Amino acid sequence: MKKQSHKNIFLILLLFTGLFLSCDQSIPSATLILKNGYVFTLHPARKYVQAVAIRGERILAIGSDEEMMRYAGPNTKVMDVQGRFVCPGFNDAHLHLASGAQAMGEVDLTGLTSIRELQRRISNRVRRLPPGGWLLGRGWLVGRGWDQTLLPEGEWPTKRILDAVAPDVPIFLKRICGHVALVNSVALRIAGIDRETPDPPGGRIVRDERTGDPTGILEENAMDLVTQYIPPVEMSDIRPHLIEVLKQLSQYGITTVQDLSNPETHMLYEELLEKDSLTCRISLWADMSDDLTEARRMRDKHRNPLLYFGMVKGFADGTLGSRTAALFQSYTDANESYGLPRMTRNEMNLQVLQADREGFQIGIHAIGDLGNRMALDAYELALHLNGDKKRRHRIEHAQVLSPEDIHRFSALNVVASMQPSHCIEDMRWAEHRLGTQRSMYSYAWRSLKDSGATLAFGTDWPVSPLNPIIGLYAAVTRRDTTGYPPKGWFPQQRLTMEEAIEAYTLGSAYAEFAEDKKGMLAAGMLADLVVLDRNLLKVPPRDILDAQVIYTILGGEVVFEIGK
């Protein structure tokens, strides 16, 4: 976090707190008081307090039980949290809310460890379809979640395994990362893809080494060759799943999400907002492209405190698990592969320059060291050509970094928007894929933090689990959920729990220009907070994963209470 840029905000907040405490006669009664807690405020002057007083949607004051009970009036609700841990509500800086909700209605392929099990799940879904029923509605069997690193010897599936169990139904199955798809022969025929079809820009059709025929694996932009033929999902099919996800967000203490979803699903958000059923703040992202018409429309339209426009997002490369992340040197376990940039340097520079010139905040998906370099270079070019102005661009994921690029995040005020759970999921194979030297600067939270960069944490759901507790555990241990390895994977990159919580609250707020509104518990801030059953700052690492949310409060209203 930029200390100087926050100094004035902290002083103002401290002044508000002092004024509230010194002028009893003029202070209105609180609507809600949380007392008898262990409150981690993230306020630099009063980091730990007992109680929080709230009026309406904002915090009146923080302090001791005695101090806060001075705000109690005849209609004040007082909640004794019985010594439990209280902190700002979690802010998931990167997820895919609507596409994750849609995936809940598709074939679930997560956790598969054999080709036979993949075939069984597809076959079971096909058998449940009525005769000829697949020709109605969408007409496709769609799924998500397979991961070849879990299969024996990392075997990549092919169209043949799908053709064997569903020769007549077009099938489209996304890898867990969402950047690669497996399709069957029917789908390839519908899309007109054969051995003569050229790779699209920023994409690749994987081909059989002997025959040159497509194997059924489509990487990055090559997926678009097929998805254009899949009819859109009805919003009525997504609605119940979206409502369920919103409930889960509250159960996990998440009060804000920063979301890339297609414009059609925004109507669902608007519908829930109108019905007063939106229990989470949603920052909407638009695709960064040569034509920013949609982004301009969203920026003008969405200005509600619960539903608002955030930034435009572009893509530098793919993912490490699929070997489409763009690297300077080849993959250690695939010497011929350097990954797959989604656009050229020139294309990225031009798109960033245009979006930056129009005042948009930009987030670029970058996994590999080359992808990250391209994004940083584009941001630096925009700084020089568009002039010095208030910028807070981001790199989404920032997984594999060249050591010489780490300081550039702070120097260019680029937020490192990262997902700690990716580290503990990927470490099974990451070092084999990258080698030891590059792995030292992968998921490099400590190096970035120490360089002065702002960290903003999220989940990338549905790629990783939605529960932020898993991310906090990953950030402070760098162990998988079984506790392996005991000392952590490259433990020098660990954070303290205070730092991890900051990245999941104040850091994420900073990443969306909202650090003056949320991410900290202080007078005048939004009353978004979470109460957990254990003190995350004091429990041993093995107990972090068992933490449960007792209450989630959004804008001063309890939106989740355990057991209700």
Place of tokens 């990338």: 460
The predicted structure's pLDDT at residue 6: 53
> Which pLDDT tens digit goes with each residue over 241-262?
999 999 999 999 999 999 998 8
Q: What is the pLDDT of residues 91-123, one digit of tens each?
A: 999 999 988 999 898 999 999 999 999 999 999
| pLDDT category of residue 263 using cuts at 50, 70 and 90 | confident
Task: For residue 478, give the amino acid letter.
Answer: R
Mean pLDDT of all residues in 439-451:
98
What does the pLDDT look like over 281-323, one tens digit per residue? 999 999 998 789 999 999 999 999 999 999 999 999 999 999 9
Q: What is the pLDDT of residues 158-213, one digit of tens each?
A: 999 999 999 989 999 999 999 999 999 999 999 999 999 999 999 999 999 999 99
Around Cβ 15, how many Cβ atoms within 10 Å? Answer: 12
> pLDDT for 473-502, tens place per residue?
999 999 999 999 999 999 999 999 999 999
Which tokens is 451 given? 């360089």
pLDDT score at 138? 64
**Where is 324: in which H helix or E strand?**
none
Q: What is the per-residue pLDDT for 8?
A: 55
Among the residue ranges 137-151, 370-384, 449-463, the one predicted with the least confidence is: 137-151
Q: Which residues contact 346 (CB under 8 A, 6 or more apart)?
A: none
Count of C-beta atoms within a 10 Å radius of residue 147: 18
pLDDT confidence tier of residue 389, bands split at 50, 70 and 90 = confident
Q: What is the pLDDT of residue 167?
A: 92
The whole-number pLDDT of residue 45 equals: 93
Domain limits of the chain?
1-89+519-564, 99-227
CATH architecture of 99-227: Roll (3.10)
* Mean per-residue pLDDT, 426-433: 96
Question: What are 335-362's pLDDT values in tens digits?
Answer: 999 999 999 999 999 999 999 999 999 9
Over the stretch 115-124, which tens digit does the pLDDT of each residue have?
999 999 999 9
pLDDT band with cut points at 50, 70 and 90 for residue 133: very low
Q: Residue 12: how many CA atoms within 13 Å on its side-chain side?
A: 10
- In the predicted model, what is the mean pLDDT of the chain? 93
Query: Cα 356 from chain centroid?
Result: 22
Compute the distance between CA of residue 115 and CA of residue 123 in angstroms, rounded to an integer: 12
pLDDT at residue 28 greater than cutoff 70: yes
Closest CA to 418 of 520, 500, 306: 500
- The predicted pLDDT at position 130 comes to 59
CATH code for the structural domain at 1-89+519-564: 2.30.40.10
pLDDT tier for residue 233 given thresholds of 50, 70 and 90: confident
- Angle, helices 235-251/263-274, rounded to nearest 10 degrees: 60
Cβ-contact 1, 506 below 8 angstroms: yes
How far apart are alpha carbons 465 and 537 in whole angstroms?
22
- How confident is the model over 357-369, as a mean pLDDT? 97
Residue 25, judged by CB atoms within 10 A of its CB (0-12, 13-18, 19+), counts as exposed
Angle 38-89-55 from CA coordinates, rounded to 5°: 80
Structure pTM?
A: 0.92
CA-nearest of 495, 502, 465, 461 to 478 is 495
Q: What percent of the chain has pLDDT over 90?
A: 87
Place of tokens 């529960």: 467
